[in-house]
Structure 1
Amino acid sequence: ENLTNKIHQGLDPKVHPRIKIQKIDGRDVIIVEVKQSADRLVLASGRPFKRVGKSTVRMGKDEYERSILEKHKDKLQFDKQICKQTSLKDIDREKVRWFLREARKHRGLKISENADLSDVLRHLGLSQTGKLTNAALLLFGNDPKFIQSEVKCIRFKGNKPVKPYLDFQTITDNVFDLADQALDFVLRNIRKAIWLVPGQVQREEKYEYPPEAIREAIVNAVVHRDYLSPSKVQVRIFDDYIEIWNPGGLPNGWTV
């Protein structure tokens, strides 16, 4: 009973072990059975530990904090949180209509572009009990004020990230238009070949990087960023390459 109490008091959240004494080779052996906790994060004497192979090692502060965030990620998801002090007046109705037309054309979404705005947002999961979520403002906001809805674009001289910049722009807009404006920045800062084809009046043009691939990379960076981080998505153009960076990381415990 004393051992049970010590184990119970030393762990947080509390764990209820099953303890029994069994004779093995003529000796009394104490067997402690502990079922897997529904809470995967359990502290021992106020400190976090983890299993590495057959060893038990103490978790570092950063790793423990990441584990806590991973545990509560559904509650902490930025896009699902209510955006306070906002209303339907903050939503760009034309952008919503444009989205519904595109979604119907490419995905078969059966919502009329003339449907009631509040009904549309509720159907898309962008409002809760009549209140707008952060995702609603990120996607369709007239003037989103989140730092997460910004993309920083820089054109460096040469192949190193040093000043002075040849071109610089911080883009703030809804998620849909962010990608288009960032692509415009890239296209005006990369080389383009132009030539005349014999027998044709119109000239041929070709960028050194495929615009479709650049736009897709920017879209992925914006959509899959960590929205709990205050850092901006960055598009960095050098003489010989382009970097597209976003804040985020692999799920807790994953490595590359």
Structure 2
Amino acid sequence: MTPFAALHHRPGRPLLLPNAWDHASAAALAAEGYAAIGTTSLGVAAAAGLPDGVAVTRAETVRLARRLGRSGFLLSVDAESGFSDDPEEVACLAVELAQAGVVGINLEDGRADGTLAPSAVLAAKIAAVKAAVPELFVNARTDTCWAGRHDPGPETVRRLEAYQQAGADGVFVPGLADPAAIVALVERLAAPLNVLWTPTGPGFAELAALGVARVSLGSLLYRSALAAAVATAAAVGAGDEVGPVPGYAEVQELSRK
């Protein structure tokens, strides 16, 4: 078991995975002691002026992975649906990321129009990735909850079991927040369950007690940074107090990490 995979097998101690969108955000998180950091596809896309979830940020994703992949922390990359429906092309991406030092990849079945790809499509991608890079931790995400289903019903279970059988090391159900539904999936599935933290859902301690193995923050930090930037500009204009914020030298130092 790789060090990153081992972080998903600590009963009662989920991996809290913060998500970065550039070198500075990743370096700042690593400086706070986070051993593993993910990327956020929304943050990477928005920072480049591109839309998320429509397979147009492959180059930006690989470029960031090359910058962060050997920075002293474990890096997992959000690769949307793999930027292709051709399993071999997705496997080539996985090889490229692994060569850059990436230890994990997220692959999803959601589509830009809000529908879901057939489970066989994502299963084929997972199998191709695991055949090409067996040591890469594949976190298979289903967007059933975001497609209008709010509990681990038959469709969610069917998809996750198919992804497990294809070789997924972990499974991810963003939008899943009901405690009973979380427990049902934990008990049903062999693969570690990843959920997305939400302000209206269970807190981190409760998620740990429910058996969740990984808690992701997704685009939350990026969106919080945008909100803070706008709020700071407004505070200056209103004559309100601003701060505390990192100093120039402190941010400059991040470029050396």
TM-score, normalized by the shorter chain, greater than 0.5: no
- Greater RCO, 1 or 2 (C-alpha within 8 Å, sep 6+): 2
Instruction: Compare CA radii of gyration and give the structure with the larger one.
Output: 1
Kindly indicate which of the two structures has a greater share of residues assigned to helix.
2
Normalised by the size of structure 1, how large is the TM-score? 0.19
Normalised by the size of structure 2, how large is the TM-score? 0.19
